[in-house]
Amino acid sequence: MDFQLTDEQRALKDGTRELLAGRFGRDRLRAAVEDPGPDRALWRELGAAGFFALRLPEKDGGVGLGLPEAVLVLEEAGRALLPGPLVACQLLAGVVDGVATGEKTVGLCEGAREPVLWEHPAGCDELILVEGGEVEGDEEEGAQERTGGVYRSASDRVSCAPFASVDPLTPLARVLDLPRTEPVALDVPRLRREAALLTAAQQLGSAVRTVEMAAGHAREREQFGAPIGSFQAVKQLCAQMLVRAEMARSAVYAASVTESVLDITGAKLLADEAAVRNARDCLQVHGGMGFTWEADVHLHLKRAWLRAECWGAAGEAEELLAAGLIA
């Protein structure tokens, strides 16, 4: 089996990076810190480019691609720290009218967690609540998915309260009550798996970007008349960052092909670790300036912390993988 990207997949990845670089550069990123709601004009442009309709059949106006291609696109979004309910809109493009074209935005939250958190509440037109569908141990693969329910509600019918977010680019609200009067017929275990994998893809993109930031700074910053990248301690940090990112890349790309519960769980665990630890090491390479608000390193670290708790935290993933090993 060949896991190398095809020419078409490379073109998709490069095109997404070029689009985001042109429409969401550093100035826009910094502006989004002050106003983190989804940019509706950019959202419509992404919709026109097929960002959200990537996996919809061509007969339904989509692009007709698969999960591996969605992973590549979300990886680039994570690299750019693009704010907004990207995973939700990618997964629900065929469920809520207007999402595929970028005319509407939709939120997706886990009802089994406490507190139930909603990302970008002010920018979403609708909210989808997912209940159940978690994974338990079984004798065969060490994992058994339970069925659950999905409920849809207009945003103005959801009772919520503000909730402090560690990531300035991702405002949160705590869902207090959501009317469960409009169920949606979706495969809940699959929805949860794909949400975890696409979140892992975002983490991968951030991990790769912090490697680039650290290496770039190490080449340019000089101490004692030499670039700091020539010092063994800094070389070691950058090398470890690259290893983490490439391990996560292999796991995320493979899981997008196999779609196995355990593969996706492992990929999310590795991508979370790479995103968080790489951002920390990137901050270390930047030294004192890495701690400042003007540097972008802290934005990657805060996003990585937030994403690491979404759709399967480390403790849950480790327990599930351990059950798979002894099954």
Query: What is the tens place of the pLDDT at every residue in 183-232?
Result: 999 999 999 999 999 999 999 999 999 999 999 999 988 789 898 888 99
Q: With 60 as the cut, is the pLDDT of residue 140 above it?
A: no
Query: For 178-190, how does the pLDDT look when each residue is reduced to its tens digit (9 = 90+)?
Result: 888 889 999 999 9
pLDDT, average across residues 84-90? 95
State the average pLDDT for the chain.
90
Q: With 60 as the cut, is the pLDDT of residue 67 above it?
A: yes
pLDDT-derived band at 133, boundaries 50, 70, 90: low
pLDDT of residue 87: 96
pLDDT of residue 144: 54
Distances (CA, A) of 245 to 150, 202, 272: 34, 12, 10
Q: With 50 as the cut, is the pLDDT of residue 139 above it?
A: no
| 184, two tokens | 């949606």
Q: Residue 151 CB: number of other CB atoms within 10 A?
A: 17
pLDDT-derived band at 294, boundaries 50, 70, 90: confident
pLDDT of residue 1: 52
Q: Determine if the peptide bond prior to 36 is cis (ω within 30°).
A: no
